[in-house]
Amino acid sequence: MPACATQGYFSGMFHLRPLLLVTALVIGVAVAGQQSDGRETYTRLDMPLLQGNNTKVPGMGEEVPGLALSNWGKMRLLAGDGPGSADRALADSAWATDTDDLGTPPDSVYWLRFHFLPVPDLKGRMLALNLGSGHALLVFLNGDTLFRYAPGHAAPGAPAAPPFTIPFSLRCDGQPEVLAIRLQAAGAEQVETFVKSSSLHSADMAYRFQQYMMQFGMFIGVNLIILVLALVIWRSEPGDRRWLYLALLSALYMVDTFLDVGGSREALGFPVSAVRVLEALRISLLPWPFYLLILTLGSLHGQMSPRRMRWYHLAVGVAALGCIVLAVIILLFRPVGQVTFSVPDTPTAIWVVLLVLAVILSILIAVAMAWFMLEVVRLGLKLMRTPGHARWVGVGALASSVVAFLFNAIGNSGLLGEGLSNGLVTLATYCSGIGVPVSVAVFLAIRTADHGKLVARQRDVLDAEVKERTAELSHEKERAEELLLNILPAEVAEELKNTGKAQARHFDQVSVLFTDFQGFTSLSSSLQPEVLLDELNACFEGFDAIITRRGIEKIKTIGDSYMCATGLNATGKDAPANLVWAALEMQDFLARRKRTRDAAGLPGFTMRAGIHTGPVVAGIVGVKKFQYDIWGDTVNTASRMESNGEVGRVNISETTYLLVRDTVVSSPLPGESQTTDNPPLTTAPAFAFTPRGNLPVKGKGELAMYFVRRANDAG
């Protein structure tokens, strides 16, 4: 039987291994894998034998497909060196067949020989010999040296310490082949330890183990997701117990998988005592997944009579009690730590009682589990015929039980080829491990999608009614949206409309511009409020037009201070330069307006402007009369750039300078018409800078600053 057969479930988490263990303890297992050619006894070796038996490999547990040398074929042992001990044709029938037959010889050299007959299909296929030993050894295959190890003098390319994995291939010439090992050991006990820690595998042993661990890791992960989803839904619908049943079922799937990997398969590196306890725990939990699966299916179907529920409770109670007692008995047969019961010291009557009790409990558990299995199939079929999304859970229950069982049976029957058989067994493992969780995920997805469609249809109907009956309100809504877009950036306004709130966002690179009118306070005291407000409004309208053309976001005005930023709704290397252009245009606008007003005998404004670039946080402040704003040290530094600037000039920080210093402008070559399609272009620097050095800034220490102007302007 292939190795995966002992990994398959009949439903959900039911593993064959616990019952196989009980059967082995009660009646024993007879293994026959030898043939005779009339002179020598040898093992017939083929891939089903390598992949259908399990053995223990350090770091990989005891469920790795392969053959243990201690239980495989005919083993011959010899204490001391003998002539031709590695030869293929050596007659070794007089050698010992067990380490107990070696006695306690003084020799430190031992020879071990293993005879096997490989099938022709193994020709050219790579195998792996796993050896665990800290002693010097030589390995021969049919008389040819295969591997050599001496402590402290390892062969080139050989690992520095055991265990060793030695790749090799067989001749497959139709004759028995011999694996001979020369071992230096202190006695027969060390020879026995070496044999028990050595095994033969197909070359993909590590891959198969990794695939196995990945599969069961995925099983745990999928069930963890379903556990969380079920708990969340149950919390929102506390009266619906099916989600509680499903959460408990997923939790038990996870626990059982962990107990299987860490206990039965010894693949997590736990000490022997912990492994035995995990095995016992797994047996004690055996009936509960079936019980919870039945409750889940029954609650989804909506037909769970009180009488049937009482029978379920009684059956799971009897099975659970039997499993606990059976787990204790198995611990007695396979004791933890100090051996408290042993065959020579325990009266035969006690063993008879324990064996009879184990048989009775096994029968009771088997009957209860068989009934549970039939109930899973019955409820799964009924749920599949029920209208609604819950039928998908019925499909998953049948996939994890009937489909998994059929695929396992067909894959292990030997009727199909090796590749197809292994594929069916693997598919059976997936069906049994994640059949129910995946079906629940499909059920939840379809349920959520249908709820979403229902809500969408209701919303569409409501929208249609609102549009038909409230045309005037729709017009007012459009006006309100226009006002909102005038106050907030489009993305923030859209988020506010859709969700009723706007999340604060972090931007790594935003350029911030502050302006401030020179002498505004003294000027405001000499002008009528209406005149002052009209002039201030005219200036800010001009600023608004400039930044609108350049796609810059206005933040706010504070008295005579104007604040805007770029990089909030667009990214790119041109964003800082765009803000510099806007600042220069604002200065030009004010200069032209002042000249006009001076000619008319009216007062005009002049201003300082400062720019800094850096990270900011942007969002909405307040819940009434809310305002979009930005915060961060970048804003404070930009304000300092303005206050440390000069009237009529644009003062920028070193950060902004580094971002805009390489900005260029393009123009047609002299003599080329600008209206010509794709005229030859020439490029020139866009800006000229006047370094101001490091200047003291309040609260910032010293900061480097630069005055910026157009490159074609006179300095």
Pick the range with the lowest mean pLDDT from 14-28, 74-88, 426-440, 495-509.
14-28
81: Cα within 13 Å, side-chain hemisphere = 4
Give the pLDDT confidence of 588-620 residue by residue, as tens digits.
Answer: 999 999 999 989 888 889 999 999 999 999 988
CA pair distance 49, 696, nearest whole angstrom: 84
Q: What is the pLDDT of residue 511?
A: 95
Residue 589 CA to residue 515 CA, distance in Å, equals: 13
Q: pLDDT value at position 571?
A: 59
Kindly report, residue by residue over 656-666, the tens digit of the pLDDT.
999 999 999 87
The structure tokens 């018409």 sit at 673
> Which residues are CB-contacts of 457 (< 8 A; sequence separation ≥ 6)?
none
Say what the pLDDT of residue 337 is: 43
Question: Percentage of the chain with pLDDT > 70?
Answer: 80
**Which comes out higher in pLDDT, residue 679 or 230?**
230
Q: Per the structure block, which two tokens stand in for 420?
A: 């197809």
Question: Of the spans 99-108, 179-188, 484-493, which averages the highest pLDDT?
Answer: 179-188
∠ CA 392-398-401, nearest 5°, is 145
What is the average pLDDT value for the chain, to the nearest integer?
78
pLDDT of 626 > 50? The answer is yes
Q: Report the sign of the C-alpha dihedral through residues 485, 486, 489, 490, in that order.
A: positive
Q: What is the pLDDT of residue 669?
A: 59
494-521: burial string, b at 16+ Cβ within 10 Å, e else:
ebbeeeeebeeeebebbbbbbbbbeebe
**DSSP H helices in 302-417:** 306-333, 348-384, 391-398, 404-412
Residue 458's H or E segment, with its range, is helix 418-469
Q: What local confidence, expressed as pLDDT, does residue 63 receive? A: 66
Q: What is the pLDDT of residue 655?
A: 95
Instruction: Report pLDDT digits (tens) over 293-322.
Output: 888 877 777 667 788 888 888 888 888 888
- Residue 39: predicted pLDDT: 39
User: What are the angstrom distances between the C-alpha of 99 and each of 82, 200, 621?
Assistant: 17, 20, 84
Partner residues linked to 565 by β-bridges: 512, 553
Q: Residue 286 in contact with residue 263, Cβ under 8 Å?
A: no
Whether residue 341 is predicted with pLDDT greater than 70 in this model: the reply is no
Range with lowest mean pLDDT among 318-322, 412-416, 467-471, 545-549: 412-416
User: How many CB atoms lie under 10 A from the CB of residue 2?
Assistant: 21
d(CA 174, CA 120): 7
- For residue 21, what pLDDT band results from cuts at 50, 70 and 90? very low
**What is the pLDDT at residue 710?**
92
Q: Are residues 102 and 191 in contact, defined by beta-carbon separation less than 8 angstroms?
A: yes
pLDDT digits (tens, 9 = 90+) for 86-122: 898 888 888 888 777 776 666 688 888 888 888 888 8
652 and 547 Cβ atoms separated by less than 8 Å: no
The confidence band for 334, taking pLDDT boundaries of 50, 70 and 90, is low
pLDDT at 611 (0 to 100): 97
Q: What is the pLDDT of residues 511-552, one digit of tens each?
A: 999 999 998 888 777 788 888 898 899 999 999 999 999 989
In order, the DSSP letters of 624-658 are SS-EEEEESHHHHHHHHHHHTS-TTSEEEEHHHHH
| pLDDT greater than 60 at residue 630 | yes
Contact 703, 610 (CB under 8 A): no
pLDDT tier, 41 (very low <50, low <70, confident <90, very high otherwise): low
Residues 163/199, Cβ–Cβ less than 8 Å: no
Among 121, 137, 221, 124, residue whose Cα is nearest residue 169: 124
**490 close to 593: Cβ distance less than 8 angstroms:** no
Q: What pLDDT is stored for residue 616 in this prediction?
A: 95
Residue 227 predicted with pLDDT over 90: no
Answer for the pair 157, 218: CB distance below 8 angstroms, yes or no: no
pLDDT at 182 over 80: yes
- State residue 23's pLDDT score: 44
Q: What torsion, rounded to 10 degrees, do the Cα atoms 9, 14, 17, 20 define?
A: -110
Would the pLDDT of 559 be above 70? yes
* The pLDDT of residue 14 is above 50: no
| Euclidean distance between CA atoms 12 and 398, whole angstroms | 10
pLDDT tier for residue 1 given thresholds of 50, 70 and 90: very low
Task: Give the Cα separation of 599 and 594 in Å (integer).
Answer: 8
More confident residue, 654 or 477: 654
Domains of the chain: 3-207 (2.60.120.260), 208-446 (1.20.1070), 508-669+679-710 (3.30.70.1230)
Count of CB atoms within 10 A of residue 305's CB? Answer: 9
Position 22 scores a pLDDT of 47
Q: Tell me, what amino acid is at 472?
A: E
Across the range 59-63, mean pLDDT stands at 63
Where does the pLDDT of residue 693 fall: very low under 50, low under 70, confident under 90, or very high at 90 and above?
Answer: very high
**CB-CB contact of 287 with 369 (8 Å):** yes
pLDDT tens figures, 580-596? 999 999 999 999 999 99
The reported pLDDT for the residue numbered 344 is 45
Q: Is the pLDDT of residue 705 over 90?
A: yes
Of 41-50, 203-212, 558-567, minimum mean pLDDT range: 203-212
pLDDT digits (tens, 9 = 90+) for 132-179: 776 788 899 988 988 888 776 554 544 445 677 888 888 888 888 888
Q: For residues 7 and 3, what is the distance between their CA atoms, to the nearest angstrom?
A: 7
pLDDT above 80 for 19: no
Helix (H) or strand (E) segment spanning residue 454: helix 418-469
Choose among 614, 644, 659, 663: nearest CA to 707: 644
Q: What is the DSSP string of 77-126?
A: EEES--TTTT-TT---TTSBSSGGGG-S-S-SEEEEEEEEEE-GGGTT--
Contact 383, 397 (CB under 8 A): yes
Q: What is the residue whose two structure tokens read 């272009």?
A: 681
Tell me what pLDDT residue 418 has.
62
Confidence tier at 6 by pLDDT (50, 70, 90): very low
418-469 and 241-259 helices, crossing angle to 10°: 150
pLDDT value at residue 302: 66
